[in-house]
Amino acid sequence: IAMFLLVSTDMSAMAVVCDFLSNICCRDLFGVVGENFSFPVNIRKNPEEIIWTKNKDKVAEWEGQKTTYFTSFRNRSFLNEENGCLTIFNLQNSDAGIYVLEYLSTQKESSLLTFTLTVLPPPSKPETSCNVSGDSFVLKCTADFPKPLNYTWKLNSIPQIVHHVPEVFIPKKDVGASTKAVCFIKFSQTEKSSEISLTECLSDEKEARLGSSMGFDCKILTDAF
């Protein structure tokens, strides 16, 4: 019996396929270069033996006494012997791959957990822009990243107002021209921010009005001979 699940977490969305008869579970995970990444594992049965492999090569093994780390995972990974969770420190592009956790419980039951880890570059520093639409300031925040980001807007004059979308409309009556807005973007553990002053909105609006008022008609007079 197989079941497909979509699990949403603060870190990312994980596609999960589980076969409960054979104790096999597969997940698609995403990490960011430079972060410390922990696989979402929590073995509830007391493990007697734990083996982690990456692309079929051993990376960590515990046989009840001590943990052995292999290849590039030496000195940059940690295996929790109680719950089977493997943590990779300072994630690199080369860490992407298919990971398999195999563990044997004290009841001699063997289980497999399979993870496909994709490593992404950190999101770019967000760019903020501002314009005026009617009686509102329109603030936009953009960043270069292949996955959905968590957005948070904070205004220094109204600390209780927090928005979680890339574009927000702020009524002019609620803020002053000296108000500064900060856009925070976050994915997994990585967070970046960018600040903009609402005076930039007014400057752009003033320039637009000035440009439209400078239009004029030019007439060319010619003499007929």
Instruction: Give the domain CATH number at 195.
Output: 2.60.40
- Answer whether residue 29 is part of any domain: yes
Q: Which CB contacts under 8 angstroms, 24+ apart, belong to 148-152?
A: 149/123, 149/185, 149/186, 149/187, 150/185, 150/186, 150/187, 151/183, 151/184, 151/185, 152/183, 152/184, 152/186
pLDDT of residue 174: 85
Q: Which residues contact 160 (CB under 8 A, 6 or more apart)?
A: none
Q: Of the residues 97, 120, 143, which one is the last residue of a structural domain?
A: 120
pLDDT of residue 111: 83
Q: Of the residues 92, 120, 148, which one is the last residue of a structural domain?
A: 120
Listed as ranges, residues in the chain with pLDDT below 50 are 1-23, 206-225
**Domain identity same for 169 and 207:** yes
Number of domains forming the structure of the chain = 2
Residue 140's nearest CA partner among 150, 153, 149 is: 153
pLDDT of residue 165: 87
Q: Domain containing 15 — which CATH number?
A: 2.60.40.10
**Domain identity same for 25 and 103:** yes
- Answer whether residue 223 is part of any domain: no
**Domain identity same for 58 and 109:** yes
pLDDT of residue 219: 43
Evaluate whether 72 touches 10 at the Cβ level (below 8 Å): no
Q: Which residue range is the domain that position 190 belongs to?
A: 127-211
- Answer whether residue 219 is part of any domain: no
φ, ψ for residue 94 (rounded to 5)?
-70, -10
